[in-house]
Amino acid sequence: MKSKDKAVELLALAGVTINGSAATDIQVKDERLYDRVFSGGTLAMGEAYMDGWWDAQDLSGFFYKVLRADLYKHLKNFSTLWHFVRASVLNYQNKDRAFEVGEKHYDIGNDLYERMLGQRMVYTCGYWSSPTTPAKDLDDAQEQKLDLVCRKIGLKAGQTVLDVGCGWGSFAKFAAQRYGAKVVGITISKEQAALARERCKGLSVEIRVEDYRETVGQFDHIISLGMFEHVGPKNYRTYMQKMHELLKDDGIFLLHTIGTNVSVRQGDAWIDKYIFPNGVLPSVAKIGRPLERLFVMEDWHNFGPDYDKTLMAWDANFEKTWPEIKDKYNERFYRMWRYYLLGCAASFRARYCQLWQIVLTKRGMDGTYRPVR
């Protein structure tokens, strides 16, 4: 069967027509696309989009249909297999590689993130689905998420918090201002650290550029928002042991991470190359084993669909402000970034990916932990 015929057949299973009239239909601009995708898998699919070989008016809608129909299982090839073998043998998230994602992703330009992320520059899922006061917009959703974290750990004035993967200091600033906390934030991005220090000036906040394995001290609480995805399966036990070492005996550790429904050893090849080098999403099973004999799991909260709304809001901001920064980047970057944002939004909409907040204590609460929503 020719590649094009195979593509027509597979896409029909998802309700997608090649060069059709629906917003979610794929528009093919170069007929070489079919051979390229079937020989190169998801990496080739993304690169072909960046090169302008195909498009879709509703890109997130197209991805949603493809993911719900499980079409990506038909795009496994030799390069995917080789990526898996290397990830099985090598530790891509060791200390020597720890700063790579900072340099390639987080350091590309604060001007981009300032425009895209909203007022507090929070680069993690917002909390839109509060059962009492659902968020009205992105800034409200992020404000509610930061407050949710503080309430889950029972944060009190004067307490110390370690923020592992502190980004641009969004949580540190919020916790110091609203709750009177003393926060130490660590990041592997020099650009993030510089802006975080500026944004937290005058507050009880210290920002360090260091790998989590280098951190020393004892803290009343530890939070980690969207950093665990960079730790890697070979380092999960080391990570949990380090968090156990840094947390006071009566403290609370909140782990906020994207999760996947099945255990994997490597991330998507396109995401790995262009967006998050060496990133791997954890599964429930992959998180559970490293916790043994270290932590008691008090609460596991999933609000994955909220990430769809967050990513769509980021894309809207990116689209709106692109004219202000396009001279610094180029058209291929623009297509790459929208492919990333809208593809990821679809993965949460299709429930391929989840967003978990896990509350952990070292010996169990003295009494019953009451889940906070």
Catalytic sites, residue numbers: 344
Helix/strand/coil percentages in the chain, nearest 5: 50, 15, 35
The H or E element spanning position 205 is strand 205-209
Structure tokens at 204: 């009880």
Sign of the alpha-carbon torsion through 333, 336, 342, 347? negative
Residue in 252, 258, 288 with CA at minimum distance from that of residue 271: 258
Tell me whether residue 32 is exposed, middle or buried, using C-beta atoms within 10 angstroms of its C-beta: 0 to 12, 13 to 18, 19 or more: exposed
Burial letters 193-223, b for 16+ CB under 10 A, else e = bebbbebbeebbbebebebbeebeeebbbbb
> C-alpha distances in angstroms, 225 versus 33, 228, 325, 356?
38, 8, 27, 10
Helices 33-50/3-13 angle, 10° precision: 60
